[in-house]
A and B are shown apart, each in its own frame.
Chain A
């Protein structure tokens, strides 16, 4: 039964991906990508990867799609027809695909419990992490403790993305002189943003409902942040969800109101703060006599130490991801303002 569900989902994925090749309407292409992302999240659930599914749904189907739509709003909606038709890409793809198929022929069978992956390193994570790290969610244990350095790297990647987007687009702030983060701020003599962008003022229903659910979304983000030790979730997903709440606010009530709630200046401090919190925990471990990110030394009882460490670094991840996502959204939105003028 599970295989059947899998097969149907994979078939739908294939149909979606094929459609992307031939469509010229970029809006539809982006929506199809959102669908593709959601479908793969469903596959992740059926393959028991609930944490991954959660992330894919919030990031791939959520943030990525929103960013692509934002880009479309700033560029073009239709792909132009091109004359040249080259066989080279097809040839490259067929060769690569052939090599991959050749590689699969020798692979361990799908889902077989005797596969090498299930016998070499992973057993320790499954059997001992509940005692060593003390968390029921093994994914969180591996993510935050055994491979905590990977996750620090991941946080730095997110931070680099923020640096990249800010240096490329910059956030235009109102009434504030240009400095640091805000590049190309040509905001002198322009109207207050909260007046120029009233949000969706005419949509009374939307405004009421948004006010109703934004606190709930934030509550959910906090739940995901601190419940990640026991169920699917963690800093990354929580950061994205919290950012989504503020993005919704800025969309419905206007970017100016958004800036009043979380100003770009605050984000400028929050973005590095998360990374520093994470790395700071690592340094603290070093100062207390352990290796970098060795949470055992943080408390007299190693399992407690692991707990403190993991809560702190998940918070660091959450803060940075939240700040970066909101930063990126602000950067894209202030571009729209510029195009509109």
Chain B
């Protein structure tokens, strides 16, 4: 029982850590693509860890099943959202920083 508690606390702590780093990254990273990367870390890693931690805390009942469903749903949707974002940006002609430098040089 205590093992479960410790494991759950550990997972929650990791989840919070990833959430925090994701948020910092969102502010500090230089361009769109790196920011999408850090945001998707929050979406996937943080959410998954926190949900897993909560799963360990709950009894095996309806709550656990609901948490599991949320977990699965997030695992499907959040990478898709990040992918769609990045792809839309590419289609819109947004360049990453190295490419941008390169294209500027090419013009010179």
- Residues of A whose CB lies within 8 Å of any CB of B are 200, 202-203, 205-206, 209, 212-213, 216
Q: Is the CB–CB distance between A206 and B84 below 8 Å?
A: yes
Segment at the A interface, from B9-17, B28-36, B40-48, B72-80 = B72-80
Nearest 5 pairs of A and B residues by beta carbon: A209-B80, A206-B84, A205-B83, A203-B84, A205-B80
**A-B pairs with beta carbons under 8 Å apart, 21 shown:** A200-B84, A202-B87, A202-B91, A203-B84, A203-B87, A203-B88, A205-B80, A205-B83, A205-B84, A205-B87, A206-B80, A206-B83, A206-B84, A209-B76, A209-B77, A209-B80, A212-B76, A213-B73, A213-B76, A213-B77, A216-B73
Chain B residues within an 8 Å CB radius of A212? 76
Please name 14 further chain A to chain B contacts, defined as beta carbons within 8 Å, in addition to the given A202-B87, A203-B84, A212-B76, sorted by A numbering: A200-B84, A202-B91, A203-B88, A205-B80, A205-B83, A205-B87, A206-B80, A206-B83, A206-B84, A209-B77, A213-B73, A213-B76, A213-B77, A216-B73
Q: How many cross-chain pairs have Cβ atoms below 8 Å apart between A and B?
A: 21
Q: Could you tell me the distance between the alpha carbons of A200 and B81 in the complex, rounded to whole angstroms?
A: 13
Residues of chain B contacted by A203 (CB below 8 angstroms): 84, 87-88
Contacts of A206 in B (CB 8 A): 80, 83-84
Count chain B residues whose beta carbon lies closer than 8 angstroms to a beta carbon of A. 9
Bound complex: CA of A76 vs CA of B94, how far in Å? Answer: 21
Q: Which residue of B lies closest to A231 (CB)?
A: B62
Task: Tell me, rounded to whole Å, the shortest Cβ–Cβ distance linking B31 to chain A.
Answer: 18
**Do most interface residues of chain B lie in helix, strand or loop, or is the interface mixed?**
helix
Residues of A within 8 A of B77 (CB): 209, 213
Interface string of B75-104 (1 = CB under 8 A from A): 011001001100110010000000000000
Q: How far is the CA of A98 from the CA of B40 in the complex (A)?
A: 44
- Which residue in chain A gives the minimum CB-CB distance to B88? A203
Bound-complex Cα distance A216 to B83 (A): 21
Q: Which residues in A have their C-beta under 8 angstroms from that of B76? A: 209, 212-213
- Closest Cβ of chain A to B33, distance in Å, is 17
A17-B80 Cα distance, complex, nearest whole Å:
30
Chain B residue at smallest Cβ distance from A208: B80
- A203 CA to B85 CA in the complex, in Å? 10
* Chain B, residue nearest A217 (CB): B73
